[in-house]
Chain A
Amino acid sequence: MSTDDAHDPKFGEYGGQYVPEALMPAIEELTDAYGRYVLENEDGFMDEFRERLADFGGRPIPLQYAEQLSERYDTDVYLKREDLLHGGAHKLNNALGQVLLAKYMGKERIIAETGAGQHGTATAMAAAHLDMPCEIYMGKTDIARQRPNVFRMRINGAEVNPVTVGRGTLKEAISETMRDWATTVETTHYVIGSVVGPHPFPKMVRDFQSVISEEARAQCIEKTGGLPDAVLACAGGGSNTMGAFAEFVDDSDVSLYAVEAGGSSLQVDEEEGVAPNSASLSTGGEGVLHGARTKLLQDRDGQIMESHSVSAGLDYAGVGPELAYLVDEGRVTPVNVDDDIALEAFHRLSQDEGIIPALETAHAFGYLEEHHDEVGDTVVVNVSGRGDKDLETVIEETSKRDLDIAPDMSVFEQVGGGML
C-alpha cells in the first residue's frame, strides 16, 4: 500500500468516481484526507484509530478453533470472531475509522445508510463515542425486519430516517443518503458502510477492515505454524469479505471464497426486474451504480434489479469493485448458498459451537457444510457478526420450513409462548 493508492481510483476497469458534480470536491477532499491520515498516518491518525479500536472496540479479537465443526468436517476450522467486536459485528472497524477521519477533517455531522442495521448501529456508536451528531437512513423493509438495531441506533442518540421509495432496502437507503450528502456536503461526512461507492471509499473501507485479516493471518501462523488453505467470508457489499481477504491476497496458496446470498433462486425475473438473490459476483454483469463501476444485478437495459436475501445485510444489488476485480483475476472464488442452507447453518453453528451468528455469516457456514471436502485441511471462516438482530427473522423463516435441525418450540406454543 502506498500513497499512490490514494490517487488511483480503479481496480482494473472497476471502481472510479461516478457521482454528481456537487460531490466531487468532497470526494477529492476525502481522497486527500485518506492519503494523508490513513496511508501516511499524519497527526498520528492511525495510532489513535488503533488505540480506539483496542480500548473502545475490544481488539485484538480471538481466532477460535471450532472443535465441533472441525470434527464434523474432518477439517481444522478456525473462527475469526468479529461478532465479539463492540457492537457485535465487524462494522465498527470501518465506522470508527471514518467517524474519526471526519473529525480530523473538521466535519460537523455524520450521515450513513444501513441495511441490516449493523453499520447504522456501529456508526451511531462511533459517533456517540466521538461526540458527533449522526443521522442514519434505513429502508422501510429493513426497519421492519431489523427492529432491535433501529432501537440500538436511537439509544445511541442517532436519528433514523425511514426510506420509503422502492422496495425500501439498502439500495434505496444508499441513494437517499447520497441525496442528503449532495445537499450538505460542505459540513457532512457520509460514512459508507461497505467497500462500495466512489473512490476512495472502496480502498479506505478495505483498509479500515483489513485489521481482520492482519490479525487472523498472524493468529493462524501462531496457532498452526502456517497459513490456512482457505478463507471463507460472506459477501454482500463486501466489507467483511475484503477485510478478511486483504492481507491474504498476496498469499497465492490461500484460497479465498466469497460466499454470496443465493436467495431463493439464481434465476432472474426480467419482466418484473427482480433477482431473487443477491449474488452479484456470481451472476451479475458489469455496470455503474452508486458511484462505481462494478458487478451488478441489472436487467438488459441497465435498470437495477430488486435483490433478495433472507439476510438484510446481504440484500444489495451491487458489490465492491475490488472484489469484482479479484474475481475476474481469478484470485477470489465467488460461490453462493440459498436461504434454506443459510438458515440451517445458522441453527447448526448455534447448537454445535454456542455461537449465534448473523444470518449473513451463516451463508459462509452453509457453504462450508456443503463443500468442506473441497476447501482444504485448515480453514478460517470470518464470523462477521452476531445474530441477535436476526432472531425475529429466524423465528419467522424457520416456521415456514421443515428444518430437522431447528429447535422444537411447540411445547412453548402450548403454554402460550407463541414463539414459532
Chain B
Amino acid sequence: MALEDAFADEPAFVPYLAAGDPNYAASLEYVEALARGGADVIELGLPFSEPIAEGKTIQDAIVRSLEAGMTPTRFFEFVEDLDVEVPIVCMTYYNLIYQYGDEEGPRPFVEKAAEVGIEGFVVPDLPAEEAGPLRAACDEFDIDLVFIVAPTTKGERLEKMMAQVSGYVYVQARLGVTGARDDVDDATEASLARLADWDVPKAVGFGIKTGEHAERIVAAGADGVIVGSALVDIVAEGHESGASVDDVADELEAKAHELKQGALRGAQERPQPERT
C-alpha cells in the first residue's frame, strides 16, 4: 500500500520505535503490538551513533539497540521478520544510508529497502538541499521520501521541500529535538496553515504524548499524528523494571489504541465542508 493511501480515509496514527530496542526479539513483538493497536504507518528507527535530532528518550533507545547488535543488515532482516500489514518507513541518518553496500552513495541502501518492502524514508539530517541523490534512488525504486517541516521553515525553503516530498510531510510541532511533552505547541497550527496548499498528507510529530494531544492536533487540521518518545518510554520503563515482553506489548497496544482513538475524535471535531 502506498504511504499516501494510509491517510486517505481517516486520520493516520504513525508510531515510531527504534528497531531492536531493547533487543531484536522483544522489539519485533512491540512493533507488531503497535499494528494491533491501530497503527496506519510505522516509522522504524535504524539507530545511528550520533542522533543529533533526537532527545534523551530516543537517544537512550538507540544506545540500547546498538548495544544489542542492531546494524543496517540486521535492520533489513528485522523488517522481513515483522508480521504486520501496515507500511514501514525507515527513519535513520544519512551516513548509514550513504555507507551501505560497496557502491558509493544511497542507491544500494534504497535498493535493499525496496527489496524488503520498506515504503518510505525519513532522514532528519538530510535537508532538501542535499537530498538529490537519495531522491533519485527513491524514484528508481518507487519509495517515498518524507521531509520534516520545522516551525522555522518558511518561504523559499517550503517551495524546495514541496518539490521533493512524497508520501506525507512530517510537520515538526515545535522547535528542538524529539521528546514527549505535556501540552501541544501553538506553532503546530501555524505550521499546518503554511502547508494548507500542499497535496500530500500532513502528519504532525514531536512532543505528542496522549490521545487528547492527538485529538487536538487532528482537530487543528493534521492528517495524522506521529508519536515516538511516549512509546519508547513504555519500552524503556518495561526494560528497566524487568516487565515481561507480553506485558510491555500489551501496554504499547493500549497506548496505540488511545492515540488512534484520539486522532479519530479529532477528525469529527473538524469543521465540515459546506455542501452545495
Interface residues of A (CB under 8 A from B): 9, 16-26, 28, 165-166, 171, 175, 178-179, 182-186, 273, 285-291, 296, 298, 300-304
Contacts and interface: CB of A to CB of B under 8 A. Distances in A.
Contacts of A285: 99
A281 to B, nearest CB: 18
* Majority SS at the chain A contact face: mixed
Interface string B138-154: 00000000011111111
A398 B98 CA distance: 42
Interface in B74-99: 93-96, 98-99
A30 to B, nearest CB: 13
A19 B175 contact: no
Contact of A304 (B50, B94, B104): B50
Interface stretch (B26-34, B35-43, B121-129, B251-259): B121-129
Interface of B: 48-55, 59, 63, 66, 71-73, 93-96, 98-100, 104, 124-127, 129-130, 147-154, 157, 161, 172, 175-177
A20 B51 CA distance: 10
A228 B53 CA distance: 45
Nearest to A179: B177
Given A25-B153, A25-B157, A302 B96 contact: yes
B172 A301 contact: no
Given A17-B129, A25-B157, A26-B152, A182 B53 contact: yes
A120 to B, nearest CB: 19
Given A21-B148, A22-B148, A290-B52, 8 more contacts: A18-B130, A22-B153, A24-B157, A28-B157, A179-B177, A287-B95, A303-B48, A303-B96
A171 B50 contact: yes
Nearest to B51: A175
Contacts of B52: 19-20, 175, 178-179, 182, 290
A28 B152 CA distance: 11
A186 B152 CA distance: 8
Given A17-B130, A18-B127, A18-B130, A298 B150 contact: no
B125 to A, nearest CB: 5
16 contacts: A20-B53, A20-B125, A21-B152, A22-B152, A22-B172, A25-B152, A25-B153, A25-B157, A179-B55, A182-B53, A183-B177, A288-B93, A288-B125, A291-B125, A303-B48, A304-B49
A304 B172 CA distance: 27
A107 B150 CA distance: 20
Contacts of B63: 165
B146 to A, nearest CB: 11
B99 A185 contact: no
A71 to B, nearest CB: 47
B271 to A, nearest CB: 29
Given A21-B153, A22-B151, A182-B176, A287 B127 contact: no
Contact of B49 (A25, A26, A184, A303): A303
Contacts of B66: 303
Q: Give the most central of B53, B72, B95, B177: most A CB within 10 Å.
A: B95
B98 A287 contact: yes
Contacts of A21: 124, 127, 147-150, 152-153, 161, 172
Nearest to A305: B49
Contacts of B153: 21-22, 24-25
A302 B96 CA distance: 5
Contacts of A298: 95, 99
A296 B126 CA distance: 18
Most buried by A among B147, B150, B157: B150
A18 B94 contact: yes
B98 to A, nearest CB: 6
Contact of A185 (B93, B127, B175): B175
